[in-house]
């Protein structure tokens, strides 16, 4: 168990750093657009001072663009905040739909992210007792593997199957022609083992079986 | 001076193109690596301003492909990274790295520097 906790600490820090780096990149892009747009407005103002006609439509479109980017920034910061609060309670009952939704959104900041189709979060879904931060790390790793397999033009479909009495199946479907022989990687397998999650690969599908509760999680909760 | 701006952030690159045009610098824009390669194949640009991180291809990889088409093409990298590739020159390659958000005057100074 100590090995597992060491592994979690190292991988958790790496994951936290990676996500934060991608968020900072996104925020810089947002600020860059706002900066260029305000710079353009300054340019227009200077031209107006020199007697050139000022086109109201240009000012309107700049204002709209700035408002859109501010909203994009708020959305990004909200996601960053939700992510940061995932470590508040190490083990807790977690809605998988919400967790998946946030993880996919965070992964979309990666430059190599593909198109992802996810099910709408379902508040009636039975929660799982897990470490949300580590589960997010695992799903993020699976998404990265999928993105690298299908490329930025590719598509990954994700769905849940909750007919099992003991847990939920989370299915990642890649195009049928994709090679999946390298999955799961050692790190993904280890991350899954720590959480008591089983991984199977069926044709071009990666399946994570996430138990509603497991001895590993209960044991981990008593140590954290 | 013929310039091509390459970045998947379309609003950013469109705005930059307008601001450069106001300063009598005509620039073409490309939103993907493939689009940039196609334009560089058909037009003898002097300078390419490349985003470091783009879907499908990194700016560093794109530089190699563009240089294969036009060995004289000068490169300015623009990065949204927080650290490591902030403003300054890479002494090994003589490429210039600028950090977002950009200062238009610095960009123009660098464009003039590399084009001359």
Tell me which chain B residue has its CA closest to the CA of residue A148. Answer: B56
Q: Do both A61 and A101 map to the same domain?
A: no
CATH number at B101 reads 3.40.50.2300
Q: Do both A110 and A177 map to the same domain?
A: yes
- CA proximity to A147, closest of A118, A123, A178: A178
Domain-ending residue, one of A85, A115, A140: A85
Element (H, E) at A119: none
pLDDT digits (tens, 9 = 90+) for A117-153: 998 877 788 999 999 999 999 999 999 999 998 888 8
| B115 within domain boundaries | no
Domain-ending residue, one of A31, A57, A85: A85
- CA proximity to A116, closest of A78, A146, A79: A146
Q: Do both A115 and A217 map to the same domain?
A: yes
CB atoms within 10 A of CB A42: 12
In angstroms, rounded to a whole number, what is the distance separating the alpha carbons of residues B29 and B16? 9
| B52 within domain boundaries | yes
Q: How many domains does chain A have?
A: 2
Distances (CA, A) of B8 to A11, A147, B3, B55: 30, 18, 17, 8
B2 vs A: CB within 8 A: no
The pLDDT assigned to B87 comes to: 43
Of the residues B59, B101, B105, the best mutation for testing chain A's interface (the one with the most A CB atoms within 10 Å of its CB) is B101
pLDDT digits (tens, 9 = 90+) for A159-195: 998 788 899 999 999 986 666 678 899 999 999 998 9
Residues of the domain holding B84: 3-107
Q: How many domains does chain B have?
A: 1
The pLDDT assigned to A7 comes to: 79
Residues of the domain holding A12: 2-85
Least confident of A66-75, A130-139, B54-63: B54-63
Distances (CA, A) of A43 to A40, A217, B8: 5, 59, 24
Across the interface, do B100 and A43 touch by the CB < 8 Å criterion?
Answer: no
**A chain contacts of residue B35, beta-carbon cutoff 8 Å:** none
Q: Which of A24, A31, A152 sits opposite B56 (nearest CB)?
A: A152
Per the CB < 8 A criterion, the answer to whether A4 and A220 are in contact is: yes
A111 vs B: CB within 8 A: yes
Per the CB < 8 A criterion, the answer to whether A113 and A144 are in contact is: no
A67 vs B: CB within 8 A: no
Beta bridge partners of B54: B57
B24 vs A: CB within 8 A: no
**B chain contacts of residue A43, beta-carbon cutoff 8 Å:** 19, 22
In angstroms, rounded to a whole number, what is the distance separating the alpha carbons of residues A189 and A128? 19
The mean of the pLDDT values for chain A is 91
Sheet with A198-202: strands ordered across: A115-117, A155-161, A167-173, A205-211, A198-202
The pLDDT assigned to B83 comes to: 45
Q: Do both A216 and A122 map to the same domain?
A: yes
Q: Do both A104 and A80 map to the same domain?
A: no
**B chain contacts of residue A112, beta-carbon cutoff 8 Å:** 55-56
Across the interface, do A21 and B82 touch by the CB < 8 Å criterion?
Answer: yes
Element (H, E) at B23: none
Its sign, for the CA torsion A104, A105, A110, A115, is positive
In angstroms, rounded to a whole number, what is the distance separating the alpha carbons of residues A155 and A43? 42
pLDDT digits (tens, 9 = 90+) for B84-99: 444 444 444 667 899 9
**How many Cα atoms within 13 Å fall on the side-chain side of residue A182?**
9
Highest mean pLDDT among A2-11, A125-134, A210-219: A125-134
Please give the ipTM for the structure prediction: 0.86
The whole-model pTM stands at 0.87
The pLDDT assigned to B85 comes to: 46
Q: Do both A72 and A97 map to the same domain?
A: no
pLDDT at A34 > cutoff 70: yes
């Amino acid at each position: 168990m100590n090995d597992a906790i060491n592994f979690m600490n190292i991988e958790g820090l790496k994951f936290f750093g990676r996500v934060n780096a991608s968020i900072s990149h996104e925020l810089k892009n947002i600020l860059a657009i706002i900066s260029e747009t305000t710079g353009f407005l300054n340019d227009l103002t200077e031209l107006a001072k020199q007697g050139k006609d000022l086109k109201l439509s240009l000012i309107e479109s700049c204002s709209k663009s700035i408002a859109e980017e501010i909203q994009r920034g708020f959305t990004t910061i909200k996601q960053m905040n939700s992510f940061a609060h995932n470590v508040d309670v190490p083990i807790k009952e977690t809605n998988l739909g919400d967790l998946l939704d946030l993880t996919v959104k965070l992964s979309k900041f990666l430059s190599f992210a593909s198109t992802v189709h996810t099910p709408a979060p379902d508040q009636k879904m039975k929660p799982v007792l897990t470490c949300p931060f580590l589960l997010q790390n695992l799903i993020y790793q699976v998404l990265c593997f999928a993105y690298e397999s299908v490329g930025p033009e590719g598509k990954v479909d994700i769905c849940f199957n909750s007919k099992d009495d003991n847990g939920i199946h989370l299915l990642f479907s890649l195009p049928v022609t994709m090679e999946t022989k390298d999955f799961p990687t050692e790190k993904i397998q280890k991350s899954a083992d720590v959480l008591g999650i089983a991984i199977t690969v069926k044709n071009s599908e990666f399946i994570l079986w996430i138990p509603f509760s497991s001895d590993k999680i209960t044991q981990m909760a008593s140590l954290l | 001076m013929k310039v091509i701006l390459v970045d998947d952030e379309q609003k950013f690159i469109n705005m930059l193109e307008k601001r450069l045009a106001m300063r009598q610098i005509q620039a073409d824009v490309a939103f993907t690596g493939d689009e940039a390669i196609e334009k560089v194949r058909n037009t003898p640009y002097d300078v390419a301003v490349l985003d470091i991180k783009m879907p499908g291809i990194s700016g560093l990889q794109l530089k190699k492909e563009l240089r294969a088409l036009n060995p004289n093409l000068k490169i300015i990298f623009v990065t949204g990274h927080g650290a490591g590739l902030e403003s300054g020159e890479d002494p090994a390659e003589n490429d210039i790295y600028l950090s977002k958000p950009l200062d238009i005057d610095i960009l123009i100074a660098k464009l003039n520097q590399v084009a001359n």
